[in-house]
Amino acid sequence: MGLSAAALLAGPRGRRLCLELALSQRTTESAATEALRTAAFYAAYDLDPGRGTSRVLFGPGVDERSGPPPAPSPQEVARLLDDVPLPSCDERTLLLALQAAVDRAMYWQEPDGEDVLAGSPEMRAGLARVAASVAALPAAAWWAEPVDRREEWVVSFVDTTGSAPVPPRTAREALGAWETAQIEEEALAQRDWPADPAARFGGPWWSKPPNALTKSTRMLPGGVPVGLSFVEDGLGWEDATTERVGVPDGARVYEIDGPDAWAELNRRYPLQVTAARRQVWYLTTGRAGTWVLPNWAQVQRDFDAVHLSVAGYLATAGVAIPLDDERSTVLAGWDPDATHWLCEVTHDEATRQQWRHPRNADKWELSRSE
């Protein structure tokens, strides 16, 4: 699947990207733009599952005397969207919108108000012209590209203790340990966890390969690895190290370029995780039933790596993707343009770079290069 308006509107992350762009206009401020931004804010609040509890309004004018806050409908917001010009999308604005869409991915709870708003039929139609403009941008052309076999970079975020994660001895060992853990976890969940999908019960929510494997991304034209800025469920790291990865000659890479490719991977290498994912994936998708994720230990037999394009991420992440009449799967916990290596790869220490992300800054800064 290439980058198209339909692909961008197919998934919650793609729709959120378009919404962020529609609300990001700062150089063309007008009464229509401000009206759209205000209406979207109150509509998202009204649609948020946590309205009045985990998400509250405060500030001047928000008290008992002022009455209930405005609650514009998605249809009203869509009408206002039609009245504003298309956002001017330079590369920085585009990447900031992508980062916002990734940062707000939460597959362990219901979608937030902005995701609900962007997913309404009225707003999907209103966002269609934004999606079409993004799909036509030269700056977004690489979003549909396969893994960059010429230059891939691994990112190691430094935790609060000042140490980076230590990889396992071999990829095969990591995958074997992961498979055993998944089977044991599912057996425990079947025995002890609630059978009601609507029960308020947490659990694992991701479907990516194990963290112990090497994960890499391409380098942006400005010299910044994609993996520095676009991370689901990030922990606010301020320091990171990057190194170039040696892509093996003839590496067999499975490309996830959209929902169909993700579904096919799950059909070929299914691992049932219904009991362990029952509650969290019901919350995020509204679907109850049998759940599957890829058995990465089996995927390793046929492929050396799995790559998720940005276009594939935006169309697929967070959606209940059907495999057949009974089984579905969710792509969750992945990062756009991530390549997970199921085999051994080398890190070129001579290319090591140290990066710093100052607090309240919107980008990483190179602090030292080997």
Question: pLDDT tens digits, residue range 129-164?
Answer: 999 999 999 999 999 999 999 999 999 998 744 445
Instruction: Round to whole Å and give the CA distance between 149 and 160.
Output: 33
What are 178-229's pLDDT values in tens digits?
999 999 999 999 999 999 999 999 999 999 999 999 999 999 988 899 999 9
pLDDT value, residue 51: 85
Q: 103 with 233: CB under 8 angstroms? A: no
How confident is the model over 350-363, as a mean pLDDT? 87
* Amino acid type, 213: L
Instruction: Round to whole Å and give the CA distance between 128 and 86.
Output: 11
The sheet carrying 321-322 orders its strands as: 270-272, 290-294, 327-329, 321-322
Distances (CA, A) of 8 to 15, 35, 133: 6, 25, 11
Q: Return the number of other C-beta atoms located less than 10 Å from residue 169's C-beta.
A: 9
What are 275-284's pLDDT values in tens digits?
999 999 999 9
- Residue 272's DSSP bridge partners are 292
Instruction: Round to whole Å and give the CA distance between 225 and 228.
Output: 6
Q: 150 with 45: CB under 8 angstroms? A: no
Whether the predicted model's global pTM rises above the 0.85 cut: yes
For the ranges 20-29, 154-163, 247-256, the one whose mean pLDDT is highest: 247-256
Q: 185 with 204: CB under 8 angstroms? A: yes
pLDDT value, residue 163: 47
Instruction: Round to whole Å and give the CA distance between 362 and 365.
Output: 10
Long-range contacts of 4-8, Cβ-Cβ distance < 8 Å, separation of 24 or more:
4/135, 5/128, 5/131, 5/132, 5/134, 5/135, 6/131, 7/135, 7/258, 7/311, 7/314, 7/315, 8/131, 8/134, 8/135, 8/314, 8/315
Q: How far is CA 76 from the centre of its chain?
A: 28
Instruction: Round to whole Å and give the CA distance between 113 and 119.
Output: 10
Q: Quick one: 162 exposed, middle or buried, by C-beta within 10 A (0-12, 13-18, 19+)? A: exposed
